Amino acid sequence: MTDLPVLRLRPKSKPQAIRHGFPWVFADEAVLDRRSRAMPAGSFAVLEDAERKPLGLVTVNPNSKIVARVMDADPQAVIDGEWLRAKLARALQMRERLYDAPFYRLVHAEADGLPGLVIDRFGDAAVIQPNAAWADRMADDLADALVQVTGVSTVILNGQGRARGLEGLDERMEVLRGDAPSDPIAVPMNGATYLADLMGGQKTGLFFDQRPNHAFAQRLAKGATVLDVFSHVGGFGLAGLAAGATRATCVDGSAAALELAKGGAGRMEAADRLETIQSDAFKAMEQLAAEGRRFDVVVCDPPAFAPSKPALEAGLRAYERVAKMAAPLVAPGGYLGLCSCSHAADLTAFRNVSARGIGRGGRRGVLIHTGQAGPDHPMLPQLAETGYLKALFFRLD
């Protein structure tokens, strides 16, 4: 029998949700007495229902609203190097089936059975984001398992972002194995080449989740002019150039991100077809409209305006504003792509505000495609947060 401590659900909690695959226990669902509150953040415990029947093995963080995350349905499981290697091998098997080159999200947190942990792979390097206390505590074990399972030579820990703050974790950035890349890494996707700065870029350096939406936009971009707003390192713009766009304009507030976009275009021998505008996105769209500029394809991929439920109302207003300002920039008969990575804003709400914004922008259109993250970002059906990305493509009058 295990000698782990026990965390018990309150009598009014619903253990059926856990038994059916929901991976979280919120603080108001568990018995939090002096003993359970003393459990170190990131430690392990056996989760029991109110009748003392075991539900599985969890990691505990008394400092978080998510007080427990299910690690294994077997309460006798041992979370060690062997367990980690088995999880990573399972995740790797699917990615190798899906992708010809080793550039993808290797681990998508709860959906890959590693709660709160994100790992993106860039060839011989991997970037881990331990957004749960257990993963932060076991970072060295994770690095060892990654090297053993995938053969990567460099493992970087990127401990930044809002999610860590919610877990009570400090920000940190360090190289766990190998050497920090001296230059950005070239990443091939959909025929385009992106440059990822693994040490200084946003998140892990590149957003793999938009890969299928880049591919759809490419079907609209041949022989077209493309405007990519909130472009980061040139996501939709470089995808358009790879598909034969006559010109792409990338708008972003970060000079460093736009330099990477230029570098990617150079690798593609398309630098002469790329225009970059460093500016606040809303100001840039206002200026482009004032200049009377129009584009065949406009795509807006902003940051998460609604990262939580309290921010939802303001976030939806911001998404509506994006649509309102972007719609007049689309040439008649052209296409508008609108994206949201806010898990708090569901597809219906995002679609409604996008349509309303287009109307307020003086345009009418039909929805021709709805996209989501690629299959290297699997969705756990019981956890809506794992299906955060939404992409809507409209044809405007």
CA–CA gap between residue 265 and residue 238 (Å, rounded)? 7
CB 301 within 8 Å of CB 235? yes
Residue 45, φ and ψ in degrees, nearest 5: -150, 165
Which residue of the set 250, 300, 339, 341 is catalytic?
341
Could you list the beta-strand ranges (E) of the chain. 6-8, 24-26, 43-48, 54-60, 66-72, 103-108, 117-122, 125-130, 154-159, 172-177, 185-189, 192-196, 225-229, 247-252, 274-278, 295-300, 330-340, 365-371, 390-396
Residue 269, Cα to own-chain centre: how many angstroms? Answer: 29
φ, ψ for residue 42, nearest 5 deg:
90, 0
Please indicate whether residue 341 is annotated as part of the active site: yes
Q: Are 134 and 44 in contact (CB under 8 A)?
A: yes
- In the three-class reduction of DSSP (H, G, I as helix; E, B as strand; rest coil), residue 186 is classed as strand
Q: For 311, which DSSP code?
A: G
Separation in Å, CA 141 to CA 135, 176, 359? 9, 10, 53
Helix (H, G, I), strand (E, B) or coil at 263: helix
Q: Catalytic residue positions?
A: 341
